[in-house]
Amino acid sequence: MARRPLPRILSNRGAHLARSRELARTAADSATDILHPLITIVRGLRRLASAGRRRVADTPKDRRGALLFLVASVLLVVLLLPYGPLLAAIALMAAAAWQGRDRAPAAPKGPDESQAQRLKSLYDALVPYFSSAGDPDPLYTHGGSWEKAFPAYEFDGTGRITHLVVVYPAYYTDGEAESRARIEHLLAAKSGRGREYHFAWDEEGNQLTVQVLAPLPADIAAQRFVTSPGETVLGFTDPMQVHRTLPLAHGEEQRDVPPVVWRTGIRSTAPHLLAAGQPGSGTSTLLRSVALQALRHGDVVIVDGGGTGEYACLTGRDGVLAVECGLAGVLESLRWAAHETERRLIAANRAHQAGDPPPEDTKRPLWILLDRPSAFTHLAAADGREDPQSLLQIPLRHGRPANVTVVVADQLDSLETLSDAVRQHTRARVLLGPATPEQVTAVLGAPPHTTPLDHVPAGRGYARLGTGPVHRLQVPATPDPYDDTTGADHRKAVLDLLPARSAQGDAQTEPTRTAPESGPVRRTPADATFTDKHSLEKKPVDPATTDRTVTEPYAAGTADTADTADTADTADTADTADTDTAPPEPVPVETAAAESS
């Protein structure tokens, strides 16, 4: 049965209400303007009546009779005089109008003496930068006036500048980063240290707008954000460049905060992320926040190079394929991730050639989170093993069409040890903690529009997604719930977001996995190698089938750990491999990518 359309009066009810409300507001404003003299006189009469009552109340009782006789005599004389009542009414109205006037003190025009002195000193400091010897009509001169140079300004209660518009000559090189940095540093130093300033350069109008930024909220706990699949909230920023807000629960209150949303997936322009910062700046907190959001729709492999158990709370959870903190386990997990990326590319390519949609096991996102991978680089070099970062080349280069996302977090002093693939393919960047403008530019690829501070809370920094602008960032509080120093509210918030314990992790036995359920064997961080030897065996695969198990390339890349297996098991595996049919050769990734294109 077809639905009948709503009546016009119901469908346009919102528009009618808005129009009626606007008409009522306009009518009230007009009536206030017209009746303003009457309102003033009524207010004055009320004040005169109140003053008369106070006068009578303050008069002693023995003198009230004489006072009333005097008032009555005055009224009688006024009534007997020619035009007396008319003159008395005019005098009363004049007195009421005088008493009913607006007595609010008028706002002072222009700055006071201290504010004018501050603007004058700021003007004198800008003279060497904005003046030229060949200018016939200089705007900035020694001993000049600052009124034309600063057309708009605002001060706070302490007398410091909160908003300032600076007009500069057209010949100033405002298109050079060095010239801008000099002016920004000068204005921040002269306007007051310890605050963050936002600088907006209008090159067309030759104006610079300086605005003091309010501190970002640092007490927002981790929670389920209102986002769609493929969107990850990195943190929160200022509402100047972000027009979207998220409803957040802050205790018992609800408020809207502008977020920094990172979009991943097949159509993402920045599919991988690199986070850097000083020790204690909050990079591990950022990775935990990303992991909790990624587990809602995908699987996660975590590599902990810090060795402090920051991610022990995620071990054995649903969707967490592995939490590695040993070199052998890291190599196995990253090698499996590379082969899983190849398998997804091959399966999707075959489906595209056949005109079918991609298989479901290639659509589920796979996240590879690495915290301080440079620590394993030194261990691998000392042990003569393969660098784990070399295994990230395939997920980084071909991860976007395979729904594989890589997130790397490391310290600022270790960025030089990161591989070229990590630095080239991580187009989403985050820098946390105190940093100089040069460090922000080196990590993000663009200078910040605000002044970095020397002391910032954990999780505070900057973010840039691809070629977009640089945003201030505050990561939501996502501490380790097993840390004794964590607050009760933040610990409970993280524990509520953790997935349930997987039955496979509780049973401590791992069956043989096929392609839809492939992944590293879950184990505790104390283990150093995989405990399921069946996942390392070569399985016969029918060449006619389109899907192949991941155990084939996974076993091919685990030759360096074959010595950990038992001798009898190895012999049984070799006999089985001789009698079974040889598996087909894997298709190179470059060939699959070329066929896909």
Domain locations in the chain? 113-213, 231-596
In this prediction, residue 17 carries a pLDDT of 63
Task: Give the model's pLDDT for residue 270.
Answer: 94
Known binding-site residues equal 277-284
What are the backbone dihedrals phi and psi of residue 500, each rounded to the nearest 5 degrees, phi first?
-70, 160
pLDDT of residue 545: 40
pLDDT value at residue 566:
41
Please count the other Cβ atoms lying within 10 Å of the Cβ belonging to residue 487: 13
Q: What is the pLDDT of residue 21?
A: 74
Q: Strand, helix or coil at 468?
A: coil
The pLDDT of residue 581 is 41
Place of tokens 């501190």: 215
Spell out the per-residue pLDDT of the chain, length 597, in tens.
454 554 544 444 555 666 777 777 777 777 777 777 888 888 888 888 888 888 888 888 888 888 888 888 888 888 888 888 888 888 888 888 888 877 666 555 668 888 889 999 999 999 999 998 888 889 999 988 899 999 999 998 888 899 999 999 999 999 898 899 899 989 988 888 778 899 999 999 999 999 999 889 888 899 999 999 999 999 999 888 788 899 988 777 888 899 999 999 898 999 999 999 999 899 999 999 999 999 999 999 999 998 888 899 999 999 999 999 999 999 999 999 999 999 999 999 999 999 999 999 899 999 999 999 999 998 999 989 999 999 999 999 999 999 999 999 999 989 999 999 999 999 999 999 999 888 999 999 998 888 888 888 899 999 999 999 999 999 999 999 998 888 898 999 999 999 998 765 554 434 333 333 444 544 433 343 333 333 333 334 343 443 433 333 333 333 343 343 343 343 343 343 343 444 444 444 444 444 444
Asked: is 231-596 a CATH 1.10.10.10 domain? The reply is: no
Note the helical H segments in 81-170: 84-99, 113-130
Q: Nearest Cα to 376, choosing from 367, 365, 361, 387?
A: 387
CA distances for 553 relative to 339, 513, 536, 559, angstroms: 6, 13, 9, 11
Burial status of residue 47 (CB atoms within 10 A of its CB: 0-12, 13-18, 19 or more):
middle
pLDDT for 387 equals 92
Give the contacts of 525 (CB within 8 A, at least 6 positions apart). 304, 309, 312, 315, 323, 324, 325, 326
Alpha-carbon separation of residue 9 from 2, 18, 120, 217, 543 (angstroms): 21, 13, 61, 44, 67
Q: What is the pLDDT of residue 287?
A: 96
Residues 211/200, Cβ–Cβ less than 8 Å = yes
What's the N-to-C CA distance of the chain in angstroms? 47
Q: How many helices (H) and strands (E) does the chain have?
A: 18, 16
Residue 318: per-residue pLDDT: 93
Binding-site sequence positions for ATP: 277-284
Residue type, 307: G
Q: What is the pLDDT of residue 106?
A: 56
- DSSP class of 385: -
Longest dimension (CA), the chain: 136
Tokens, residue 286:
């950022």
pLDDT at 4: 53
Distance, in Å, from the CA atom of 577 to the CA atom of 538, rounded to the nearest integer, reads 7
The pTM is what?
0.69
Give strand pairing partners of 483: none
